[in-house]
C-alpha cells in the first residue's frame, strides 16, 4: 500500500469539539463557525447531534443549525443520531448525512448510550436502513479502539467486530476513534492495518484524540497504509463527556500543517482555518489548543502581518 496523495479531513469541531466545552454557543455562532470552516476549504463538517440535551446540552438546537445551512449544498454536514427518535428529528430538520456511534467496549457503551454493544448495533440496523432508503450518507463511529476509561485494554477482535457490523449494515465509512487518546504509533498502525484488511481502505477513517500528545504521530504511522480520511477538530476543541480525563481532539490546524508539509494535499487554507479556530475560541472564552495556531500568532506578533503570506 502507498500513501494517498491527498487526505480528506472530516472536521468534527462543531460537534465532537463543542459538545465537551463549558460554554454553549448560540445557533448563530455555530453557523458562523461552520461557514468559516467551509470557507477555509473543509467540505465535510459535523454540524451537531440529535442526542438528549440533558446529557449533552451543548448540542441543543442542532435542527436550527441545519436549517440555517440548508443552502450549503456544497457541504456534507453529518449529524450524530443515537436511535430512531434522533433519526426522525434529523430527517425533519433536513439532514442529508447522519452518523451512528457504537463502542468496542461494553462498559463504555453502557455509560455512553445506556445499552450494550449488541443492543446498540441492533438499534442502528433500522436507523441505517432508513437513512440509506432516504438517500442519506451514513458514517459509523467505533469508540475506544485503543483503550477504554473503564476497562483499560480493548481487544482488536472486539474493535473489528463492531466495525464490520457497521460496514455490513450500510455505513459508507467507519471512523476508528481513540476516545481517550492513549494510543501510540505502533498500536495505531496495527489497528489501522487490520481495519483496512477487514473492511477496505476506502471505508476506513481515523479519529485520534491528543490526550498524551500522540495524535499526529499516530496519523503519520498510518499514512503509508493508504488511509485517506482523518478526523480533526479546529483549535483542538473538545473531548468526550463520558471519558473522564480525555482531552481534546487532534487540532485540524496541526494536521493540515503536517500533511501539507509532507506534500499531501488537504485543500485547506491554513490561514483561514486558524482564523476560524481563533474565532471559536474567543466565543468560548478559551485559548486555542493548536500548536500551529499558537506559533502563527507568535510569528505575526514578532514579524508583522506580512509574514502570514509566507506560511
Q: List the catalytic residues.
A: 240
Cβ neighbourhood burial of 271 (10 Å; 0-12, 13-18, 19+) = middle
H-type alpha helices, the chain = 27-39, 62-68, 84-92, 106-113, 117-133, 156-169, 185-199, 215-223, 252-261, 270-284, 291-303
Q: What is the dihedral of CA 79, 126, 200, 50, to 10 degrees?
A: 10
Q: Which residue, among 154, 150, 145, 161, has the nearest Cα to 110 in the 3D structure? A: 150
**Residue 251 corresponds to which cell in the numbers above?**
487540532
**Residue 230 corresponds to which cell in the numbers above?**
482523518
How many CA atoms does the CB half-sphere of 96 hold within 13 Å? Answer: 13
Q: Give yes or no for a contact between 152 and 107, defined as CB atoms under 8 angstroms apart.
A: no
Distance CA 137, CA 10 (A): 14
Amino acid at each position: 500500500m502507498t500513501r494517498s496523495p491527498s487526505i480528506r479531513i472530516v472536521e468534527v469541531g462543531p460537534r465532537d469539539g463543542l459538545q465537551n466545552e463549558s460554554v454553549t454557543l448560540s445557533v448563530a455562532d455555530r453557523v458562523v463557525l461552520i461557514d468559516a470552516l467551509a470557507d477555509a476549504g473543509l467540505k465535510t463538517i459535523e454540524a451537531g447531534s440529535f442526542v438528549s440535551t440533558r446529557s449533552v446540552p451543548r448540542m441543543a438546537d442542532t435542527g436550527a443549525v441545519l436549517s440555517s445551512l440548508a443552502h450549503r449544498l456544497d457541504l456534507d454536514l453529518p449529524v450524530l443520531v443515537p436511535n430512531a427518535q434522533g433519526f426522525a428529528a434529523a430527517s425533519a430538520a433536513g439532514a442529508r448525512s447522519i452518523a451512528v456511534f457504537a463502542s468496542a467496549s461494553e462498559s463504555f457503551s453502557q455509560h455512553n448510550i445506556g445499552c450494550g454493544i449488541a443492543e446498540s448495533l441492533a438499534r442502528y440496523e433500522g436507523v441505517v436502513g432508513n437513512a440509506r432508503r432516504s438517500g442519506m450518507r451514513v458514517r459509523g463511529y467505533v469508540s475506544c479502539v485503543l483503550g477504554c476509561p473503564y476497562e483499560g485494554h480493548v481487544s482488536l477482535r472486539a474493535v473489528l467486530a463492531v466495525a464490520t457490523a457497521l460496514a455490513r449494515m450500510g455505513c459508507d465509512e467507519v471512523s476508528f476513534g481513540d476516545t481517550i487518546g492513549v494510543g501510540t504509533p505502533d498500536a495505531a498502525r496495527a489497528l489501522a492495518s487490520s481495519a483496512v484488511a477487514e473492511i477496505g481502505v476506502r471505508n476506513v477513517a481515523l479519529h485520534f484524540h491528543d490526550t498524551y500528545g500522540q495524535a499526529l504521530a499516530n496519523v503519520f504511522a498510518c499514512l503509508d497504509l493508504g488511509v485517506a480520511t482523518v478526523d480533526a477538530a479546529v483549535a483542538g476543541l473538545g473531548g468526550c463527556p463520558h471519558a473522564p480525563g480525555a482531552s481534546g481532539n487532534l487540532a485540524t490546524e496541526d494536521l493540515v500543517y503536517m500533511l501539507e508539509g509532507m506534500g499531501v494535499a488537504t485543500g485547506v487554507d491554513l490561514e483561514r482555518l486558524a482564523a476560524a479556530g481563533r474565532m471559536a475560541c474567543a466565543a468560548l472564552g478559551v485559548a486555542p489548543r493548536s500548536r500551529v495556531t499558537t506559533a502563527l500568532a507568535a510569528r505575526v506578533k514578532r514579524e508583522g502581518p506580512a509574514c502570514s503570506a509566507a506560511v
